[in-house]
Amino acid sequence: GAGVSQSPSNKVTEKGKDVELRCDPISGHTALYWYRQSLGQGLEFLIYFQGNSAPDKSGLPSDRFSAERTGGSVSTLTIQRTQQEDSAVYLCASSLRSSGETDTQYFGPGTRLTVL
């Protein structure tokens, strides 16, 4: 079946602009995660959704970052007033999470964000 998809694949923006990154999880997966991958920091957790709620937002680096999920499916990560340090690959993952415990996360191809 279809995997996790993300759009756009690449985004170049100017410092100070807002950007929206989209994630379509695997159909039927109730859990959705956002991670950020940058050269200096490796893979960092940003936020976790179970259904439409976000029980763990602890990884969001500042209040410029927000995310929402609607219909238990698509999620959007928004970065306001982008800064050069926001340049990174943003990865989305989804999992079944039917048991309430950690299970296997499947990753999308990522969105490469470049802030000029």
Partner 1 sequence: AQSVTQPDIHITVSEGASLELRCNYSYGATPYLFWYVQSPGQGLQLLLKYFSGDTLVQGIKGFEAEFKRSQSSFNLRKPSVHWSDAAEYFCAVGARGSTLGRLYFGRGTQLTVWP
Residue 108 binds partner 1, judged by CB under 8 A: yes
The site map against partner 1 for 38-67 (x = CB under 8 A) is ----xx-x--x-x----xx--x--------
Question: Using CA atoms, how far apart are residues 49 and 106, in angstroms rounded to an integer?
Answer: 14
Provide the residue count of the chain.
Answer: 116
Among the listed residues 11, 13, 29, the one whose alpha carbon sits nearest the alpha carbon of residue 21: 11
Within 10 angstroms of residue 93's Cβ, the number of other Cβ atoms is 21
Q: Which one among 21, 23, 31, 113 touches partner 1, defined by CB under 8 A?
A: 31
Question: Using CA atoms, how far apart are residues 72 and 87, in angstroms rounded to an integer?
Answer: 28
Q: Which is nearer to partner 1, 18 or 103 (CB)?
A: 103
Q: Which stretch binds partner 1 (CB under 8 A): 15-23, 66-74, 79-87, 103-111?
A: 103-111
Tell me the residue type at 13.
T
Question: Using CA atoms, how far apart are residues 93 and 97, in angstroms rounded to an integer?
Answer: 12
Shortest separation between residue 6's beta carbon and partner 1, angstroms: 8
Q: Which one among 19, 21, 110, 113 touches partner 1, defined by CB under 8 A?
A: 110
Q: Which is nearer to partner 1, 41 or 78 (CB)?
A: 41
* Terminal Cα distance for the chain, rounded: 37
Binding site for partner 1 (CB under 8 A): 4, 31, 33, 35, 42-43, 45, 48, 50, 55-56, 59, 91, 93, 95, 97, 100-110
